[in-house]
Each structure stands twice: as structure tokens, then as C-alpha cells.
Amino acid sequence: MYTEVSSIEMLRKAIEEKKEFIRINEGFYEIDEPLILDNVNNLKIVGNGNVVISGAKKIMNKSTYPNS
């Protein structure tokens, strides 16, 4: 069973709750900060229609996100 998300906040929450199957609803999503996928296993994210995820809106310091 998929967890439906329609915002970046919902996506972050689903990842934090360790949901394994996530479906992103159609739309354009702007990410301000990286999605942290530390200790996440067997994650499947699918798009429902046309999904665009855009990031790097801000310059990120390597010390803040060392694995990015």
C-alpha cells in the first residue's frame, strides 16, 4: 500500500516514518534542503503523473550536509 504525498513536507514525514512505498502526486516540488535518507532501506518512490522535483535553491555548505 502506497503512502500518498502532495508536498515536500509530507514526503519528509513519510521518509522519517520509514514508509517503504511512497507515491508523489502530480506537480512541481521545490526542495530547500536535502532529503536525508540516512538509514533508509527498501524505499520506493513513484510519481503519479508528471512530477518534477527541483532542488539546490540555496548554496549548501559541505560541513552542514557532509554526504551531499
Higher pLDDT, 55 or 47: 47
Does 67 reside within a domain?
Answer: no
pLDDT over 60 at 68, yes or no: no
Write down the pLDDT at residue 1.
85
25 is a domain residue: yes
Count of domains observed in the chain: 1
Kindly state whether residue 61 falls inside one of the protein's structural domains: no
For residue 26, is it within any domain?
A: yes
Query: Is residue 59 a part of any domain in this protein?
Result: no
In a domain, 32, yes or no: yes
Q: What is the mean pLDDT of residues 21-26?
A: 96
Is 0.85 topped by the overall pTM?
A: no
What is the span of the domain harbouring residue 32?
Answer: 3-54
Alpha-carbon distances of 10 from 22, 25, 37, 64, rounded to whole Å: 10, 11, 15, 23
Q: pLDDT confidence of 20, banded at 50, 70, 90?
A: very high
Q: pLDDT, tens digit, for every residue of 29-45?
A: 988 888 888 888 899 99
